C-alpha cells in the first residue's frame, strides 16, 4: 500500500519558503541567519530555501 505524501513532502528543495520563529527563540533565529535566511518584515517570517528548512528540521514551522 502506498503512503500518501503530506504537502511538505512535495516541496522542491530549491524552493524558497517562509518560516515562523518566535522573537524569544534567539538561538534558533541565529541558526537560521547562519544558514542564510533573511527576515521579511511584511510577512513576519524568515525566508529561506526548503533544503535548509529540511536540514534544520523546521518543516512544521513553514508558514502558509
Quote the cell numbers at residue 24.
Answer: 524569544
Please, which residues bridge with residue 62 across strands?
19
Residue from 45, 57, 56 nearest 17 by CA: 45
C-alpha to C-alpha distance for 47 and 4, rounded to whole angstroms: 27
pLDDT for 35-64, tens place per residue? 999 999 999 999 999 999 999 999 999 997
C-alpha to C-alpha distance for 25 and 37, rounded to whole angstroms: 15
pLDDT for 23-39, tens place per residue? 999 999 999 999 999 99
pLDDT for 1-21, tens place per residue? 444 445 556 777 789 999 999
Its pTM surpasses 0.85: no
Q: Where along the chain do its domains lie?
A: 13-61
Contact 19, 58 (CB under 8 A): yes
Amino acid at each position: 500500500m502506498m503512503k500518501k505524501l503530506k504537502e511538505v513532502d512535495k516541496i522542491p528543495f530549491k524552493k524558497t519558503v517562509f518560516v515562523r520563529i518566535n522573537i524569544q527563540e534567539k538561538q534558533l533565529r541565529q541558526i537560521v541567519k547562519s544558514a542564510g535566511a533573511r527576515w521579511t518584515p511584511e510577512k513576519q517570517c524568515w525566508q529561506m530555501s526548503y533544503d535548509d528548512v529540511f536540514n534544520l528540521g523546521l518543516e512544521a514551522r513553514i508558514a502558509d
